[in-house]
Amino acid sequence: MRTSVVIPSRNEGATVVALADAVRAHCDEVIVVDGHSTDGSPARLREAGVTVVEDGGLGKGDAIRRGLAAAGGEVIVTMDADGSHDPADIRALVAPIGAGEADLVIGCRMRGGSDEFAGTWTMFVRLWGNNFLTQVINTRFGTALTDSQNGFRAIRAAAVAQLGLRENRHSIELEMVLRALKRGLRVSQVPAHEYARKAGKSSLSVVRQTPTFLRCLLRNIW
Ligand SMILES: Nc1nc2c(ncn2[C@@H]2O[C@H](COP(=O)(O)OP(=O)(O)OP(=O)(O)O)[C@@H](O)[C@H]2O)c(=O)[nH]1
Ligand SMILES: [Mg+2]
What ligand 1 atom has the least distance to the C-alpha of 80? 27
The confidence score (pLDDT) of residue 207 equals 85
Dist. CA 8 → ligand 2 center (Å): 10
Q: Is the distance from CB of 75 to CB of 154 less than 8 angstroms?
A: yes
- Which residue's CA is the closest to the ligand 1 atom numbered 5? 60
Q: What is the spatial distance between Cα 48 and Cα 34, in angstroms, rounded to a whole number?
A: 15
* Residue 4 amino acid letter: S
pTM, to two decimals: 0.97
Dist. CA 159 → ligand 2 center (Å): 25
Categorize the per-residue pLDDT at 24 as very low, low, confident or very high, splitting at 50, 70 and 90: very high
The confidence score (pLDDT) of residue 118 equals 79
Q: Is any atom of ligand 1 closer than 6 Å to the C-beta of 33?
A: yes
The confidence score (pLDDT) of residue 116 equals 84
Categorize the per-residue pLDDT at 206 as very low, low, confident or very high, splitting at 50, 70 and 90: confident
Categorize the per-residue pLDDT at 68 as very low, low, confident or very high, splitting at 50, 70 and 90: very high
Whether pLDDT at 13 is above 90: yes
- Which residue's CA is the closest to the ligand 1 atom numbered 26? 80
Q: Is any atom of ligand 1 closer than 6 Å to the C-beta of 200?
A: no
β-pairing, 75-78 vs 29-34, is: unpaired
Quick: pLDDT tens for 127-161: 999 999 999 999 999 999 999 999 999 999 999 99
The confidence score (pLDDT) of residue 59 equals 97
The confidence score (pLDDT) of residue 41 equals 98
* C-beta contacts of 26-30 below 8 A and 24+ residues apart: 26/87, 26/88, 26/90, 26/91, 27/3, 27/73, 27/77, 27/90, 28/2, 28/3, 28/4, 28/73, 29/2, 29/3, 29/4, 29/5, 29/71, 29/72, 29/73, 30/4, 30/5
User: Of the given ranges (88-97, 107-116, 181-190), which has the lowest mean pLDDT?
Assistant: 107-116
The confidence score (pLDDT) of residue 201 equals 86
Regarding the domain with residue range 3-220, which homologous superfamily does it belong to in the CATH classification? Answer: Spore Coat Polysaccharide Biosynthesis Protein SpsA; Chain A (3.90.550.10)
